[in-house]
Amino acid sequence: MLDLVYIRNKPEEVAAKLARRGFDVDFTEFLSRDAERRALMHETETLKAERNQKSSEIPLIKKQKGDLAAVTEQLRQLSDQIRDNDTRIKEMNADQQTFLAGLPNIPADDIPAGGKENNEVVSVWGEPMTVEAGMKNHVDLVESCGMIDYERGAKLSGSGFWIYRGPGAILEWALLNYFIGEHLRDGYEMMLPPHILNYECGYVGGQFPKFEDDVFQLRGQGERFQFILPTAETALTSVHAEEILKESELPKKYFAFTPCYRREAGSYRADERGMIRGHQFNKVEMFQFTRPEDSEEAFMELVGKASRLVEGLGLVHRVSRLAAGDCGAAMRKTFDIEIWIPSMQIYKEVSSVSTAGDYQARRGNIRYRQADSGKTAFCHTLNGSGLATSRVIPAIVEQCQLPDGSIRVPEVLLPWMHGIEIIHPVNPGHE
């Protein structure tokens, strides 16, 4: 949600900034309706003041046993008028909210305009390896090593689901433990939120109403339905919705582990086989609520944390600054941490770190009280994956494969590997 006052004061500036992400708006009509709305509000409030005034005289008239009929009739008309106006104002407010809710966030000034073709590589870690003769891609590797069972996953559920098994399941769990350990060490509070959320959470996060069809909806209808979370961000953002936090308790640093469920309707592409894109994947999500003046620093902290996690695994990766049009609608700036997938000769996102500024805070009414002025102000919210495993495992198995088709487990994971250092191919027909 953008600041209405800002739009009112500098409509051209807002429109120009939104154009950087490819979003075209003209606020002319919106603002004239806003003026109309405020005029009606003003008029109605005057009527209400009059009503309150007259109304308070009634007890006196009663006491003096005066005649109430005239006043009562007058007030009845006044009330009718007020009721009509209120109905109209309510409609206008609703229209305005709908319009505002549909506007994406204003991109930060320090990111490139335009679409993903304008993304910029910020830094590269490691040397992208080429595909040597005899090297396998991750789909073949995880199957031959008995780590993932795609076929039976589809049998149990449908296309886009898989089973982690044996060493694959252990590796997955080890990754999560590794991530958790790092976040705890950095002073983040761990959370395990509900996986089924109400509509409000989707709205606050900025996913709804536009992307309602991207999630698995459960019961209810209209603005009532519950859904299975597409990312823990959707849960964490709303943790402090409708609250006024103390300035002294900011920043709040959280992380959560949840599976993420996404419909990914129509997004299948042949080059995204395997675990690159599924309807369910595991992710640890980092989140911060900060004061506005601290959010930039927090953003860099999250970027640093995400890339350090990949670095700890010894995996080739890079950091990219996304162009305005490639950032999520709720975000003003996003850096992606992308991991090298040798078989695809391409970097794939393992983490997306974003700052929403006060956009989500406005939607969720997440505020804090400024210690010096005593005023309330909106928090800033930031989030970042730390990390999503479904992209990390392909990178691990490909980047860490040995000539004989086995996989050397990254050292940082060994404490949770239950003695497995090398994952060997299983004998054919032995699955």
* DSSP single-letter state for residue 195: S
Q: Is 56 in the site for RNA (CB under 7 A)?
A: yes
Nearest alpha carbon to residue 206 among 83, 361, 90, 75: 361
Contact 410, 387 (CB under 8 A): no
Stretch that binds RNA, among 48-56, 158-166, 288-296, 403-411 (CB under 7 A): 48-56
* Least gap, CB of 220 to RNA (angstroms): 9
C-alpha 397/C-alpha 198 separation (Å) is 37
Q: Could you say which of 244, 300, 346, 402 contacts RNA (CB under 7 A)?
A: 244
Q: Could you say which of 15, 75, 176, 329 contacts RNA (CB under 7 A)?
A: 75
Q: Which residues pair with 288 in a beta bridge?
A: 253, 382
Q: Could you say which of 19, 22, 25, 48 contacts RNA (CB under 7 A)?
A: 48
Q: Is 317 in the site for RNA (CB under 7 A)?
A: no
C-alpha 262/C-alpha 276 separation (Å) is 13
Contact 298, 287 (CB under 8 A): no
* Least gap, CB of 34 to RNA (angstroms): 9
- Name the 3-class secondary structure at 274: helix
Q: Is 370 in the site for RNA (CB under 7 A)?
A: no
Question: What Rg value do the Cα atoms of the chain yield, rounded?
Answer: 27
C-alpha 328/C-alpha 356 separation (Å) is 9
Token output for 381: 């919210």
Q: Is 121 in the site for RNA (CB under 7 A)?
A: no
Q: Is 419 in the site for RNA (CB under 7 A)?
A: no
Q: Find the helix or strand (DSSP H, E) in which 283 lies.
A: strand 280-290
Q: Is 159 in the site for RNA (CB under 7 A)?
A: no
| Distances from the Cα of 62 to the Cα of 67, 69, 72, 427, angstroms | 8, 11, 12, 97
Q: Could you say which of 13, 26, 45, 189 contacts RNA (CB under 7 A)?
A: 45
Q: Could you say which of 72, 98, 123, 267 contacts RNA (CB under 7 A)?
A: 72
Quote the distance between the C-alpha of residue 388 and its chain's center: 14
Q: Could you say which of 123, 376, 418, 431 contacts RNA (CB under 7 A)?
A: 376
* DSSP single-letter state for residue 279: S
Q: Is 123 in the site for RNA (CB under 7 A)?
A: no
Q: Could you say which of 15, 22, 25, 51 contacts RNA (CB under 7 A)?
A: 51
Stretch that binds RNA, among 72-80, 208-216, 294-302, 408-416 (CB under 7 A): 72-80
Q: Is 32 in the site for RNA (CB under 7 A)?
A: no
Interface contacts to RNA, rule CB under 7 A? 38, 41-42, 45-46, 48-49, 51-53, 55-56, 58-59, 62, 72, 75-76, 78-79, 90, 244, 367, 369, 374, 376
